């Protein structure tokens, strides 16, 4: 019995972690992530992250409060690779569509010096290039999406748009 009591906290912690992971895999935002493989892109093994509420720290170390304050309820993220391109896709479930749209506006205002460029995808959004990366911000319905490609050239913009279209096609 004494040995069992030593293992109980560990078993409990693993059970809770497994339950959170399973919940994350079935969350509305996780279901919108691009497939493990598509158009030459492959998910980087072990890159899946999920957070809900205070658990957003698994994705946003040190800045998650900004996301909670602006209506993020949960988020799922994966890293993808195609040749020498890497793209991080993060899907956020927001309180509602208005909050999602306002969060895009927040980021547009934050990045106004980088001259945000409009997206030609149904919804609201823009893209910027800064500090060696290309980032796309987009919202439709109650989802807010970011795609960050780790380069700042035209190929990176096209890759980011391809990833975003894969997500946008799933949002109703």
pLDDT in tens, 116-153: 999 999 999 999 999 999 999 999 999 999 999 999 99
The predicted pLDDT at position 141 comes to 97
CB 70 within 8 A of CB 131: no
Q: Indicate the fold that domain 2-168 takes in CATH.
A: Protein Transport Mog1p; Chain A (3.40.1000)
CB 105 within 8 A of CB 76: no
- In this predicted structure, the answer to whether residue 1 has a pLDDT above a threshold of 80 is no
- In this predicted structure, the answer to whether residue 157 has a pLDDT above a threshold of 80 is yes
Calpha distance 30→52 (Å, rounded): 12
Spans of all domains in the chain: 2-168
Calpha distance 64→60 (Å, rounded): 5
- In this predicted structure, the answer to whether residue 36 has a pLDDT above a threshold of 60 is yes
- How would you label 120-149 residue by residue, b for 16+ Cβ within 10 Å and e otherwise? ebebbbbbbbeeebbbbbbbbebbbbbbbb
């Amino acid at each position: 019995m004494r040995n069992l009591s030593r293992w109980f906290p560990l078993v409990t912690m693993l059970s809770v972690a497994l339950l959170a992971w399973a919940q994350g895999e079935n969350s509305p935002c996780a279901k919108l992530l691009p497939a493990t493989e598509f158009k030459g892109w492959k998910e980087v093994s072990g890159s899946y992250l999920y957070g809900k509420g205070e658990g957003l720290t698994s994705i946003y170390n040190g800045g998650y409060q900004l996301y909670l304050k602006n209506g993020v309820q949960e988020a799922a993220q994966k890293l993808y690779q195609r040749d020498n391109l890497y793209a991080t896709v993060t899907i956020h479930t927001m309180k509602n569509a208005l909050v999602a749209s306002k969060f895009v506006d927040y980021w547009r205002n934050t990045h106004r010096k980088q001259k945000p460029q409009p997206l030609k995808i149904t919804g609201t959004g823009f893209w910027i290039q800064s500090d060696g990366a290309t980032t796309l911000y987009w919202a439709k319905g109650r989802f807010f999406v970011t795609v960050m490609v780790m380069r700042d050239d035209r190929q990176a913009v096209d890759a980011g748009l391809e990833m975003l279209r894969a997500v946008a096609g799933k949002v109703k």
